Every structure is written in structure tokens, then in C-alpha cells.
Chain A
Amino acid sequence: MTLRFKRAWRRAVGKGESLRPRARRSSRGVRPENIVWIFGTGRSGSTWLGSMMEGLEGCAMWNEPLVGNLFGNFHYFRVGGRKTGRQYILGEPYKETWLGPMRDLVLGGAAARFPEVAEDGYLIIKEPNGSIGAPLLMEALPESRMIFLIRDPRDVVASSMDARSEGSWLSERREAQRSASKQTRNPNVYVRMRANSYVQQIEKTWQAYRAHGGRKVMVRYEDLRADTLQTMKRIYSSLEIPVQETDLARSVEKNSWENIPEEEKGEGKKRRKAKPGGWREDLTARQVEIVEDITAPLLNEFYPHTAATRGAL
């Protein structure tokens, strides 16, 4: 790392700017502080939340760019002990040289895709399956805002299993890709795998959430289901984003579970049952045990009252 790079980066970060502040100021792109990330994990209601936010004027949603997956999966899981090395492209000693291009990749991609929210609008980036890279993205874009959306891992696993069952909405897509689902071949192996990926994604999201010095909010899917409007108000208030209550109420109503046509809901559909605690009907006792064992620290942290049901089922 050259001293020049280090100094330039520190100066820029100190002022809340990127390495290329002039370019950013004069651009008609999306303002980094108007980017709102939704991190967590798949099947936790991020599509629903994103749709309610997108429904408001001056808002757009970037649906799963996988930019977090691009960097996070590679950096945290594929390179092993090379992270601290000087040769590896995302090596810690050279962080300043790659956080800049990472930032530009997001801002450039946002500007090209969403010119309608340039300057004053808000861009919601729904990125549950890229949550593994949340710490890197939030470091590259410290001005942006963050929603940590969490759901009971047992419900997440139950929902993921349904999505991958034969004939479901996701299995049709998978069939096109010709990959046999582990859920069909061996359900318990799939449960274990999904619980592990839950832990990876939620731990990284939590890490990013704790480190983020900007505006942020943690939302439980269960609270969003119990009182959607109040929870949405809390989100906007915590993120300090102005919103008209009537507009918000309209968007909440429009995207409510009750307003989804019956034929689009149910088993095997993308919108399944939206029922917190539904895992009690969906998972076997053994599957519950597997999930609870793997996700125990997170269950204790975020769902302390129902963290372990072993023996109670």
C-alpha cells in the first residue's frame, strides 16, 4: 500500500467522501446516503418489505443485484487464509484500493439502472442473498442506510423447504437449470445446509449492523406481520426518511397479505402462509432440533423466549 493511497483514502473517508469526490458531486447519480440496503436472508419477507417501500413516490427497488454475494462469498468463504496477504486482490493491507471500485460498482450500477431516483430519490437495494457481503458494502458506502430484517430461522427453513419442494415456484426455475434439489433428495441434509447458510448470512448482517455508524434499523418479520403500519413508521423514523403517513398506509394496504389473490398464495407458491410460528406445522421434530442446534446463538439473541423447543413438541 502506498502512503499516497492511504492518505487520500483517510482524507476522503474523514470528509464522508469517496476517493473520487468530484466525480460524485457532479454526477446525476443516486446519492449514496439515499441508498437503503435490506440485508438478512432469503424467505424473511424482504420482497414484501421492499415492495411496500418501492410503492412510495420517489422510490425505486434494485432487486437482488448480488453484489454482496460477489464480494462476500469470495472474501469470507473461498480464499481461506489469504485475506491478510499482500497478493490477494481483496487483501486487508490494500483495502483502500478495492473499497473504491466496489463503491463505484454500486453507484455506477445504480445510476445506470435507476435514473429516475437520481439526486433526491431513494433506492432500496433488496439484497438478502448478498448479505454475506454486508460488512464490505457498508464499509464501502458508509453514508448509506441499512435495514437488518430478521425472521425466526425455523420459519425461514420451513419456507425454503417448501420453495424447493417438487412443483414449487423455485423448483420450476431450478429444473430449468437442471440442478436436483437437496430438499427432494434428502430433506434433513437440506435443513442442515439451509440453517448453516442462515447463520452465515445473519451473522454477517449483524456484524455490518453493529459496525455501521449511519442510520439503521433492525426489524423482525414477526413485528412486521403483527402491526405492519406501525413497524413501517418505525423504519422510516429510524432511518430518518420523510414519509407521508397516508402514502405509507396506502402502500401497506396495497401490499397486504389479504390483498394477494387466493390463487397466488399457498403451498408451493412464492407467497406461502406468512404465519409466524408456522414451522410447528411444517418441520418434523428432528428438523426443528437440527435448526435449533445450528442457529442456537442467534435464536437466543433474537428470539430468546422460544429459542429451544426440544422436548416441548
Chain B
Amino acid sequence: MIRDAWRKVRGRGMLEETGGMRPENLVWVFGTARTGSSWLSAIMGEVGGYSRWHEPLVGHLFGNLYYERAGHRSEDAHFILGARYRELWLGTIRRFVLDSAAARFPGIAAKGRGYLIIKEPQGSMGAPLLMEALPESRMILLVRDPRDVVASNLDAHKGGTWTADLMRKGGKEKPPSLAESRPDAFVKGQARRYVRDVGNAKKAYDAHGGFKVLVRYEDLRADTLQTMKRIYSELEMPVEGADLARSVEKHSWEKIPSEQKGEGKFHRKAKPGGWREDLTARQAEIVEGVAGSLLRELYPVRSTA
């Protein structure tokens, strides 16, 4: 019955009336916040034929209810994202993304050429659902040492930093953060968030049968151009070497004005291993305790302090 409903929906073109956006032209960047996804996607979005969709949060929309708030209802036939009707709602997710992408990036949709980089670190919780709904699309799993990720977040959430400016722009004052009142509790919360986001993104990566590449932030920092070439090569996407080199240069750390870098700024220190200066021994231990399994898997050589 469900397969019939799915076929009916498909047969009527409900799912594939997508304004012309081709799913294979979508490139997802998953991981978690503060892993360098803004930097990576800026480099890619700058190259001819590529555009960038900055954090649609579609992964968060579906992932948050499915995995967290209503995780216990997945076998309930009445639940809108229930297992029994999976094909049906995955079809809706697919349309959601393709319709929205086509409306925002009509140039790519109309030509049927070019690629759309979807920077979605904060929607990584929903990566397994998105990749299952759009199996033709490409995927970058961008990871960074969880201790550096947590250290970066600890800095970002203190008073008077760029996150407070961002909230002010949205008309709100940043409430007091645990980052200042109870830093160890904040660290634990961030480590858990890392496990949730990167853990789900890794699951999606392992299951994905299409083009995909795993990138470590540390490699991207050590040799940006070579790592970028590897990304394009593994995703089988065309790129002009000179174009790429120009974009890498334009977005390099050295090109960011000094006054825009440093503690409390969006561009902080970009220094792999900087957590040794930023976290207390207890905080490093907390992160290693919570994210130990992912740390060993992604960073087998340097997994503990």
C-alpha cells in the first residue's frame, strides 16, 4: 500500500517537479560548527560554476524531531516520520530541498550545469535522512579534532564575542552563557553536540553510495590547495586549477585583516592543536571521555592528551 502511494506520487510528477535542480549537482558539507566549513565553502563557492547555499538548516529541521524529540515514536504508524512510511516522507524531504534550491539558485537549475555547495554543519544531525532522500548528491564530511572544536566554541560563547554581535543583529541580546558561568558543563554539552553532529554525519557518509570525501580540517590547513584538489577529484567535479588556486589564495588565513582575527572573533586562531593552550586538563579529559570513540576513529594517532 505504501509502495503504491509512493508510486502514485512519483507517477504524477509530484516529486520530480523540482524547478529543474538536479540532485547530482548538490554537494553537502556536513560535520559540525567550528570545523572550517565557512572557509571551505567560501573557497568552493568562489570558483566558476559553483554557488554556495549557506546553512539552510534543513537537516536540523527533520533531524531534530526524528532523532531527538520524537525518537521514541519512530515505530508508531501515526508519527509523521514513522518508519512504515519512510519512503513517502523521504520523498517530501527530497522535494523540499530541490524546490527550495531551484527557487534560490535559478541559474544552476535552469542550465542544469554547475554545482551547489550546501554548507550545512548545523544540520548534520539530519545528514542520514538527507543523503537517503538525495542519494545522487555528493557529500563532504568535514571533521576537526573535537578538542579544537570545543575550544573554539568556548571562546565564541563568552560575553562580547562575535556570537553576541550576531544575536544583536537579529534584535536579541545574548543571554548569559554556561561558557562563562560553568565552563566545564559547557564543554561537556559541546562535546555531546559534536558526537551527535559528527556521529550522524559519519553514519551518512558510511552509508552513502555516491561520490563522497572525508576531509580533516588539519589537512586543509596544512596544504589547502592539495586538499582542495583531492576534494574535487574524489567528488569527480571539474575545476580549473588556476581558478581554484586563486580562490584558495583569496580565502587564505593570511589574507584576513589582522583586526578581524583573534580571541572573540569569528576567525580565531586556525591552529590545529590549539586546544592545548585553550582547554584545562580537566576539560580535555571531558571531551576525550564524551567523544573518545569518534576521536579514535577520526584521529587514531593523536587521540588522547
Interface string of B79-114 (1 = CB under 8 A from A): 111000100110110011001101110100000000
Max chain A Cβ within 10 angstroms of own Cβ: one of B70, B79, B81, B103: B103
B300 on the A face (CB < 8 A): no
- Could you say which residues of chain A place their CB within 8 Å of the CB of B237? none
| Structural contact, A70 and B14, CB atoms closer than 8 A | no
- Could you say which residues of chain B place their CB within 8 Å of the CB of A78? 60, 64
Nearest CB of chain A from residue B297's CB, rounded to whole Å: 26
B4-12, B200-208, B258-266: which lies at the A interface?
B4-12
- Could you say which residues of chain A place their CB within 8 Å of the CB of B85? 109, 112-113
| Structural contact, B91 and A108, CB atoms closer than 8 A | yes
A22 to B187, CA, bound (A): 53
Among A23, A64, A97, A115, the residue within 8 A (CB) of B1 is: A115
A105 on the B face (CB < 8 A): yes
Residue of B nearest to A127 (CB): B80
| Structural contact, A87 and B53, CB atoms closer than 8 A | yes
* A20 and B70 in contact, given A78-B64, A90-B61, A111-B5 (Cβ under 8 angstroms): no
| Structural contact, B65 and A66, CB atoms closer than 8 A | yes
* A101 and B170 in contact, given A109-B89, A112-B1, A115-B1 (Cβ under 8 angstroms): no
Interface string of A191-225 (1 = CB under 8 A from B): 00000000000000000000000000000000000
A80 to B166, CA, bound (A): 11
B78 on the A face (CB < 8 A): yes
* A70 and B100 in contact, given A65-B80, A112-B1 (Cβ under 8 angstroms): no
* A22 and B103 in contact, given A66-B79, A88-B56 (Cβ under 8 angstroms): no
A177 to B9, CA, bound (A): 35
A94 to B88, CA, bound (A): 23
| Structural contact, A89 and B14, CB atoms closer than 8 A | no
* A69 and B103 in contact, given A20-B14, A89-B56, A104-B92 (Cβ under 8 angstroms): no
- Could you say which residues of chain B place their CB within 8 Å of the CB of A100? 95, 99
| Structural contact, A112 and B92, CB atoms closer than 8 A | no
A86 to B100, CA, bound (A): 10
| Structural contact, A105 and B80, CB atoms closer than 8 A | yes
A63 to B210, CA, bound (A): 37
A2 on the B face (CB < 8 A): yes
B193 on the A face (CB < 8 A): no
A115 to B8, CA, bound (A): 13
* A105 and B53 in contact, given A66-B73, A89-B100, A177-B72 (Cβ under 8 angstroms): no
Residue of A nearest to B85 (CB): A112
| Structural contact, A80 and B170, CB atoms closer than 8 A | yes
| Structural contact, B79 and A65, CB atoms closer than 8 A | yes
Among A65, A74, A87, A97, the residue within 8 A (CB) of B61 is: A74
- Could you say which residues of chain A place their CB within 8 Å of the CB of B92? 101, 104-105, 108
A242 on the B face (CB < 8 A): no
B55 on the A face (CB < 8 A): yes
A279 on the B face (CB < 8 A): no
- Could you say which residues of chain B place their CB within 8 Å of the CB of A113? 77-78, 85
* A1 and B56 in contact, given A70-B81, A74-B61, A89-B61 (Cβ under 8 angstroms): no
Size class of the contact patch on chain A: 35 or more
B58 on the A face (CB < 8 A): yes
Residue of A nearest to B95 (CB): A101
Nearest CB of chain B from residue A88's CB, rounded to whole Å: 6
Nearest CB of chain A from residue B68's CB, rounded to whole Å: 11
| Structural contact, A65 and B5, CB atoms closer than 8 A | no
B169 on the A face (CB < 8 A): yes
Max chain B Cβ within 10 angstroms of own Cβ: one of A65, A87, A90, A112: A112
| Structural contact, A1 and B79, CB atoms closer than 8 A | no
Nearest CB of chain B from residue A25's CB, rounded to whole Å: 10
Residue of B nearest to A174 (CB): B72
A113 to B81, CA, bound (A): 12
A171 to B200, CA, bound (A): 29
| Structural contact, A108 and B104, CB atoms closer than 8 A | no
Residue of B nearest to A69 (CB): B65
A5 on the B face (CB < 8 A): yes
B185 on the A face (CB < 8 A): no
User: Which parts of A40-82 form the interface with B (CB within 8 Å)?
Assistant: 62-67, 69-71, 73-74, 78-82
A173 to B81, CA, bound (A): 20
A98 on the B face (CB < 8 A): yes
- Could you say which residues of chain A place their CB within 8 Å of the CB of B79? 64-66
Max chain B Cβ within 10 angstroms of own Cβ: one of A67, A108, A177: A108
Residue of A nearest to B15 (CB): A104
B172 on the A face (CB < 8 A): yes
Nearest CB of chain A from residue B157's CB, rounded to whole Å: 15
- 11 interchain pairs, CB-CB under 8 A: A2-B102, A23-B9, A66-B65, A66-B73, A74-B57, A78-B60, A86-B104, A87-B54, A97-B99, A105-B89, A112-B85
Interface residues of B (CB under 8 A from A): 1-2, 5, 8-9, 12-14, 17, 19, 53-58, 60-62, 64-65, 69-70, 72-73, 77-81, 85, 88-89, 91-92, 95-96, 99-100, 102-104, 106, 167, 169-172
In the A-B complex, the 9 residue pairs with the closest CB atoms = A81-B170, A23-B12, A112-B5, A89-B56, A65-B80, A89-B58, A67-B80, A105-B92, A97-B103
